[in-house]
Structure 1
């Protein structure tokens, strides 16, 4: 088939494009003019052309990525597709129809999804079950983020967001037989006007589970009648990661996978890139990269680092990318999130014209919430210079960012300075 993907550069659409190409389809895509690694390099390596294919009837199927509305080019192309009555499907529906299988496992919740999804996939692979799957991140164990197989098993990272052509939570499109829900925080305020609306989405997901007879809860609390602690040797740090491992191992054991395979898989599991990932250790300074933006996730990440390195000062390089951070009301909780760090360097706050001036968060708002340990440095060169002049032996620098390459490039320059320093 000739398949063209709108908004091809994304955690869902790029891996999908690579898999479709691997299966023998002719794949092309559309995106904004300026695209960045890793998506740009992955697509280029696979020889998938971008922005070179005009909308035409010779394309057998158009897959519409969730971000198509955010890009003028793809928004215009979708109008052409509908005007010409060409065949199309949303990326969400494509996942639901071609990746989700009879034994469908969904991993949902506000945090932990990517780590648990990848671990479940890793266990099922080692059990020779050959699942179809979709992971919203890149496993360090070096297997693809998405694969389609003939196996009756599938594992999908199931997000609650509503975007693109979606009219309800993404996880409500996917068939489900087994589910892990890690948490139900009200993160996507742009999708759900109230927390009640957010919780209703999760209730609807639970109601989809066929013949629900047993609900397994995993957490720490006296109200939970059955509890188990993960004593399986593993390479991940942090209490939240041990809970993630407990969730994956409990589900896989419940599905009949031998305990030996589960324990061996967990012992060899390396985690996800940009999830508490150590990316350098030079001059006795540790550099960690993490995707977190939510205060709860940031607190958990910092707490995990603090437990692992109790005597090391922690400094933070924070890039505010998540949409909820761009509003004044979205800053609640960041004081607690950064309570164990010495300083927080805040990079440039993105401007969004859809947020009114009265609601838009400013550096002053961040300072008011976090306190004097926050320093606003909107220029990358200034951030680079700051950390080159201020980091000391035993320091840990944690970079929190969920998008863009500017911050990562700045971090690499900082690391490279200490790497080459004599």
Structure 2
């Protein structure tokens, strides 16, 4: 962002609390503004958002209050946020902005809202003539505004918003079915880019309001993400691949490649062999036993041998930090959809596919898995280990092997003959 200067006239015109018109900005920040940014009584150096708050004030996005406070915990309204986003000078404008028919925007915010629309943050077509401008901005809507803005910066972010339609979202609301379809894509991209994250309770909190401190941090993150190509963000790549194909295998374990033709009998129709998991996703699979029909909705791989986000954006959902594996195996988690024909025990579920990587026998028992409320096999079992429902859908656990002395092949065949068949290279 280009640093900006607030003229004395403009500074006097700002609302106390800082959301008035910011005309006449350019050049560098004044010494007075920089000093003000570092002296808020309620933003000590130890405050979690101290650096971002000071930066946002210096750049002219916010102003403190007359009593020397910043009020970092105060909520931000939609009108206020629109006015802030309008001040992002590095944000390009759309060739043609959507018509603005909002009837409830206060006079002081009209220019800001119009500019935020022109810059692609707000889509008036998503509203019915009213922005509810004076209401506090909730996190779900914030995710929509920011990801829509990114799609103007780089059209591939717009493509990402489409690619994640059928992805698995690492937030508790997704697994409990409480994340509205209208906000899933924006939440997924917000998480995949690192713009936003889940809270300690593992929820994204689409209905939680956004505070001034949080907005300051989001502005800093937005500036960073806007300068980054979507392809360089591993978490976003994973979410896109799961959305498009059902698995993040190609991102986390690219050493797994199509099983070579010489591994099959000459009589086998090798044209049926594929590395595209979408070709078997949600299809009836060939099973070894006949206790149930099986479909796979999604398949997630986690690499525990690297650090932080490189392990997988899904690591915090399925794995505890203390967990470890042997002999170079990766974690493998498959979402299985069963249609039990008569009755079936947990042990019999394990005989359906008999794969070390995709095995319906059990679910992860990590604390993280339980905290995210991911569907567990135990949710569907009686005390005697018999399934209580005919159509359970839950996440199973397995291992993806790389050790040549173990079974590294992953083989899943759909009843239509499509053979998903990969082996560690």
- How high is the TM-score relative to the length of structure 2? 0.25
Q: Larger % of strand: which?
A: 1
Q: Which is greater in Rg?
A: 2
- How high is the TM-score relative to the length of structure 1? 0.25
